Amino acid sequence: MTKNQEIQIVYNFTKPMPLNRDINKSRIKVEVRENPQPIDNKLEEEIEKCWINSNIKKKLSNNIIPYLASPVIKRGGSYQILTEARGFRYTQAFNRDQDFYEKWDDLKRYSLLSLSTHCHILTQDGKILFGTKRNQSNQISGFGGFPNIQEDTKIVKKIKCLDLFQTVKNRLSPEIGKLIEYIDSISSLGITYVNTPALRGTDLDFLVRFRIKSGEFKEKFQQTNQFDRELYAVDFSPEKITNFLREIKFNGKEISKYALGALYLEIYSYHGKESAKRFLDFLRKEQKIFISSSFNIDYFKNGKKRY
C-alpha cells in the first residue's frame, strides 16, 4: 500500500474517548507549536503565487490552523498529538492545488498535512445526521472544519493546546447555529487521512451526542453557505449505515471520504472490531472503496527527527 490509497486510518483509539469540558482533565492533548521549520524562499514564493491565484476569501489568509507534525504518542491512558501552526495558505497549496499535489517530499519535509475536525451528530433517538455540502460538489458529509488557533486554544502548563471540546463547538456553530446548545457529550474516535486530489488532509473524528431527537433537529436546522436545508437521519447500526450507503450510491450521490473514515472508526469503537471488518469488506466489494486500517505512508519519515 502506498500514499495513493485514498482513505487511511492514522490512529484508532479503538473505543470512544469522551472529551472533558475542562481541558486540564482531558486525556487527549493536541499541542500546538508555533515555531515551525522555515520554508525555503523559492517554495514560499510558489505558495504565495498559488494563494494569489486562488479564489479563496482574503480573510482566510490570516487563519492559522494546525498541521500534523508527529505520530500520536500514547502514555498510559492519555494521548498526545503534536501539531504545528501555519497559515491556511499552506493547505490551500499542498492539499488543494493540483500543481502542488506531487510535491510529496516538500509536504513531508515541512509537515504540511493539515489537521481538521469531522463530526457526526448522534441524536437522542439514535440517529446519525448527515448534510449535503454545497461547497464540495453536493457531497453527503458530516460537520466540522479547521480549528482556528486564535480561537480554539488555551495554555495548559505553559503549553498551547487545542481545547477540543470548545473547538468542536466553535466549528459546529457556523454550520448548525443555536443547535449547539443541545450538545450533551463529545467523544473522539481517531484520525483519518484522505488522499483525494484537491482535498487531501487529515481529520480528527468526533461523535457528538445531542439532547434532541432527529425530527426536531431537522426542523430547526437552517441552510448555510456550506449545507443544504435537507438532512439525512440514519439509525446508528452497521446494517442501517450500509443500507444508507447503498441507497445514496443507487441515487447517484457521493459521500465524503472523510465521512467514511469516521464511520469506520465509529463502528469499530461502538460495535466492535468484527463489525468494522465487515464494514471494510462491504466498502471494498460493493462500493469499490478501499480503507486501510493503518497509516501506510512515510509522512513522518522526513529524515529529521524534530520532536
Mean pLDDT of 265-294: 96
| Per-residue model confidence (pLDDT) at position 52 | 86
Which of 57-66, 90-99, 267-276, 286-295 is least confident? 57-66
The neighbour count for residue 260, using CB atoms within 10 Å, is 21
What is the predicted pLDDT for the residue at 3? 44
Position 300 in a domain: no
Indicate the helix (H) or strand (E) that contains 291: strand 291-292
Q: Does residue 205 surpass a pLDDT of 90?
A: yes
* pLDDT in the model for residue 198: 81
How confident is the model over 39-50, as a mean pLDDT?
A: 93
Residue 303 pLDDT: 43
Residue 212 Cα to chain centre, angstroms: 24
CB atoms near residue 180 (< 10 Å):
17
Residue 283 belongs to some domain of the structure: yes
304 within some domain: no
**Rounded distance between C-alpha atoms, residue 300 and residue 191, angstroms:** 15
| pLDDT band, very low/low/confident/very high, at 158 (cuts 50, 70, 90) | very high
Give the pLDDT band (50/70/90) at residue 60: low
Q: What phi and psi, each to the nearest 5 degrees, are found at residue 268?
A: -60, -50
- Number of separate domains in the chain: 1
C-alpha cell at 202: 487529515
> In sequence order, what are the beta bridge partners of 160?
155
58 is a domain residue: yes
Residue 251 has pLDDT above 60, yes or no: yes
2 pLDDT higher than 50: no
Provide the 10 A C-beta neighbour count for residue 108. 19
Cα 251 to chain center, whole Å?
26
Q: Which three cell numbers stand for residue 251?
A: 441515487
Best CA proximity match to 36, nearest among 102, 92, 82: 82
Smallest CA-to-CA distance from 126 within 268, 232, 235 is with 235
User: What CATH number has the domain bearing residue 24?
Assistant: 3.90.79.10
pLDDT at residue 288, rounded to an integer: 93
Residue 305 burial (C-beta neighbours within 10 Å; 0-12, 13-18, 19+): exposed
Residue 271 grid coordinates: 460495535
Question: Which residue, chain included where needed, has cell 468494522?
Answer: 276
Q: What percent of the chain has pLDDT over 90?
A: 79
The three-state secondary structure class of 169 is helix
Residue with grid cell 469506520, as numbered in its chain: 264
d(CA 112, CA 103): 11
User: So what's the pLDDT on residue 130?
Assistant: 97
**Is residue 301 a part of any domain in this protein?**
no
Q: Distance between CA atoms of 176 and 178, rounded to whole angstroms? A: 7
Show the domain range for 268.
7-292
With contact defined as beta carbons under 8 Å apart, do 260 and 291 qualify?
yes
Residue 306 has pLDDT above 60, yes or no: no
1 in a structural domain = no
| Residue 158 in domain | yes
User: Per-residue pLDDT averaged across 265-273, rounded?
Assistant: 98
Decide if pLDDT at 57 tops 70.
Answer: no
CB 254 within 8 A of CB 140: yes
* Residues 218, 158: Cα–Cα separation, whole Å: 42
